[in-house]
């Protein structure tokens, strides 16, 4: 019985500095925890006739599929503003799989053992964080936000030592590619223009073939990546997603959300929300995400300088002009996104004030971000007296007046709102509790959460058990690199 792998590996054919050829380090006793059937179907992979032991052998890297060719990719990155040489220290890309539609996907094992780039790390990952990435990345996908996906998690049967011994696990991550801003930084730091050209051409051919014949490919790449990243961060702001570690090595050139370390969803509306235990200064706080996106794009632009124009000053001038359009583009998209959240069609001069007044009220009254929009859609989740407040009532009158300008009935407005406001998000305590059960070998609650989060815009049986704001915790802390 064949699974349907169709590998066509192109990145591994790039020159040596781009990657190290290396196989995953075998593990002792692999055991399948979860396999993503929906994603398998999208990839045209069929595991229905393969027994779980064989699947575990496969997704642990103990037996590699025919046609794969494992590599660890080299990259660099600004981590909290500081430049470092990095690379896949605990992951290998086993190859690029083509679906029947010829869509190309990186298949990567995360937690697969040491590589040249491991520095002091053990190359391994623990069960909790890998399952957490599975839950949240799949939730993001179902929220209609570009993201890497999760195909499988296996336990390795080996312990990994963190603050205490934890069960080891490997996640199979699926991505349009794993090329990052940091990949460009790595190559640019080597200061060989021909290598930079190879990367530029590779990326354009793979992700943006429509600019292949453009007059200035480098500046056009900056423009398309900027557009993708603005769309992405606007989506994050829409659902209250806080990435937590927006280092340049965690920004994908394809525009997918990547690297689910310390991420978490904001509950109580507070623009300064930070969950990551190491983000002491709030560099990656909710409200800073657009600013950091621009900062990272500026680092990307710096890499491209030698390719934009022969005259360096001219090159900087051209790149700066592009980067300067960031704020206007972001604001326009953010405003439209917020209009959708409020069911506002068209645009009116006072829309921005209306939106900001609601956000200010939410901040002052400490209301739950997701559930406030549910309330506006007529769905009561937390019995909340805050909505009786005079300020809120008068804001609501202004909002309803604005609706009357739409020439649309309330039903149409709600339909628009229902398409962008999730009824359920991965709440911190709820995910944490599921991971505790999983650690004890019980995966029922993990699977139940994944099921509920697969339809975040629909009312479902039992959904109410997953919506309460109390399933979050103000003092919640997240950790990365575990």
Number of residues interacting with ligand AMP: please give it, by CB under 6 A.
Answer: 18
What is the per-residue binding string for ligand AMP in 332-361, x denoting contact by CB under 6 A? ------------------------------
**CA neighbor of 424 nearest in space, from 392, 400, 393, 459:** 459
Count of Cβ atoms closer than 10 Å to residue 272 Cβ? 10
Cβ closest to ligand AMP, residue 60 vs residue 467: 60
The answer for residues whose C-beta is within 8 angstroms of residue 24's C-beta and 6 or more apart is 60, 61, 62, 64, 70, 92, 94, 109, 112, 113, 170
Tell me how far, at minimum, the Cβ of 262 lies from ligand AMP, in Å. Answer: 8
Applying CB under 6 A, does 90 fall inside the site for ligand AMP? yes
Among the listed residues 195, 197, 232, 187, the one whose alpha carbon sits nearest the alpha carbon of residue 87: 187
Residue 256 binds ligand AMP, judged by CB under 6 A:
no
Quote the CA–CA distance of 278 and 288 in Å, as a whole number: 16
Six-digit token string for 217: 């490919």
Any contact of residue 259 with ligand AMP (CB under 6 A)? yes
d(CA 257, CA 411): 33
DSSP readout, 215-264?
S-HHHHHHHHHHHHHHHHHHHHHHHTEE-S---GGGBBTT--B---SS-E
The reply on whether position 431 binds ligand AMP by CB under 6 A is: no
As measured in angstroms, the least distance from the Cβ of 366 to ligand AMP is 31
What is the C-alpha to C-alpha distance for residues 429 and 471, in angstroms, rounded to an integer? 5
Least distance from ligand AMP to the Cβ atom of residue 174, Å: 17
> Could you say which of ligand AMP, Mg ion, none residue 302 binds, taking C-beta under 5 to 8 angstroms by partner kind?
none
The least CB distance from residue 124 to ligand AMP, in Å, is 6
CB atoms within 10 A of CB 160: 18
- Counting Cα atoms < 13 Å in the Cβ hemisphere of 44 gives 13
The answer to whether residue 438 forms part of the interface with ligand AMP (CB under 6 A) is no
Site for ligand AMP in 119-178 (CB under 6 A): 121-124
68: closest CA among 103, 28, 127, 21? Answer: 21
118 binds ligand AMP per the rule CB under 6 A: yes
Q: Is 267 assigned a catalytic role?
A: no
Structure tokens at 406: 């739409």
Residue 220 as a binder of Mg ion (CB under 5 A): the answer is no
Element housing 129 (H / E): helix 127-142
| Type and span of the H or E element at 303 | helix 289-308
| Interaction of residue 87 with ligand AMP, rule CB under 6 A | yes
Candidates 131-139, 197-205, 244-252, 395-403 — which segment interacts with ligand AMP by CB under 6 A?
A: 244-252
Q: Which is nearer to ligand AMP, 106 or 249 (CB)?
A: 249
Q: Which is nearer to Mg ion, 181 or 301 (CB)?
A: 181
26 is a contact residue toward ligand AMP (CB under 6 A): no
- Establish if 93 lies at the interface with ligand AMP (CB under 6 A): no
Between residue 237 and residue 266, which ones bind Mg ion under the rule CB under 5 A?
Answer: 250, 259
Helix/strand/coil for 161:
strand
- Rounded to an integer, what distance in angstroms lies between the CA atom of residue 109 and that of residue 171? 6
The residue number with the shortest CB distance to Mg ion is 259
Site for Mg ion in 127-156 (CB under 5 A): none
122 binds, among ligand AMP, Mg ion, none (CB under 5 to 8 A by kind): ligand AMP
Please give the Cα distance from 251 to 301 (Å, whole number): 13
- Given Mg ion, ligand AMP, none, residue 89, with its beta carbon under 5 to 8 Å by kind, binds ligand AMP
The catalytic position among 88, 106, 220, 249 is: 249
Residues between 261 and 300 that touch ligand AMP (CB under 6 A): 261
Q: Where in the sequence numbering do the catalytic residues fall? A: 249
Binding interface with ligand AMP (CB under 6 A): 86-90, 117-118, 121-124, 245, 249-250, 259, 261, 480-481
């Amino acid at each position: 019985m064949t699974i349907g792998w169709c590998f066509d590996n192109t990145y591994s054919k790039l020159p040596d500095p781009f990657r190290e050829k290396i196989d995953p380090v075998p593990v002792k006793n692999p055991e399948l925890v979860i396999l993503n059937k929906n994603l398998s179907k999208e990839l045209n992979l069929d595991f229905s006739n393969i027994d779980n032991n064989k699947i575990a052998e496969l997704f642990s890297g103990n037996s590699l599929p025919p046609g794969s060719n494992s590599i660890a990719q080299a990259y660099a990155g600004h981590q909290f503003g500081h430049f470092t040489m990095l690379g896949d220290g605990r992951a290998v890309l086993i190859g690029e799989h083509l679906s029947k539609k010829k869509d190309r996907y990186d298949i990567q094992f995360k937690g697969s053992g040491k590589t040249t780039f491991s520095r002091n790390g053990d190359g391994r990952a623990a069960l909790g964080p890998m399952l957490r990435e599975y839950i949240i990345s799949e939730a993001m996908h179902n929220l209609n936000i570009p993201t890497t996906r999760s195909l499988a998690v296996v336990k390795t049967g080996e312990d990994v030592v963190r603050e205490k011994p934890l069960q080891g696990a490997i996640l199979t991550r699926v991505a349009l590619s794993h090329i990052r801003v940091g990949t460009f930084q790595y190559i640019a730091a080597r200061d060989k223009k021909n290598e930079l050209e190879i990367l530029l051409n590779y990326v354009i051919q793979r992700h943006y073939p429509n600019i292949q014949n453009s007059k200035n490919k480098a500046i056009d790449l900056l423009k398309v990546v900027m557009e993708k990243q603005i769309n992405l961060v606007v989506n994050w702001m829409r659902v209250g997603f806080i990435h937590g570690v927006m280092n340049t090595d965690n920004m994908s050139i394809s525009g997918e959300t990547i690297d689910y370390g310390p991420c978490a969803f904001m509950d109580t509306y507070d623009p300064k929300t930070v969950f990551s235990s190491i983000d002491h200064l709030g560099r990656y706080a909710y409200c800073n995400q657009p600013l950091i996106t621009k900062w990272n794009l500026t680092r990307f632009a710096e890499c491209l300088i030698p390719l934009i124009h022969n005259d360096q000053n001219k090159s900087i001038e051209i790149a700066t002009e592009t980067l300067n359009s960031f704020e206007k583009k972001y604001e326009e998209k953010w405003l439209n996104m917020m209009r959708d959240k409020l069911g506002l069609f068209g645009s009116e001069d006072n829309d921005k004030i209306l939106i900001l007044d609601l956000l200010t009220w939410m901040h002052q009254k400490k209301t739950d971000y997701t559930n406030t929009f549910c309330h506006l859609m007529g769905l009561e989740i937390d019995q909340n007296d805050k909505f009786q407040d005079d300020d809120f009532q008068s804001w609501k009158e202004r909002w309803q007046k604005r609706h009357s300008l739409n020439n649309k009935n309330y039903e149409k407005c709600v339909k628009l709102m229902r398409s962008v406001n999730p009824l359920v998000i991965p709440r911190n305590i709820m995910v944490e509790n599921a991971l505790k059960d999983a650690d004890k070998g019980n995966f029922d609650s993990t699977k139940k959460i994944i099921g509920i989060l697969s339809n975040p815009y629909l009312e479902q049986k039992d959904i109410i058990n997953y919506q309460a704001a109390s399933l979050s915790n103000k003092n919640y802390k997240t950790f990365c690199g575990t």
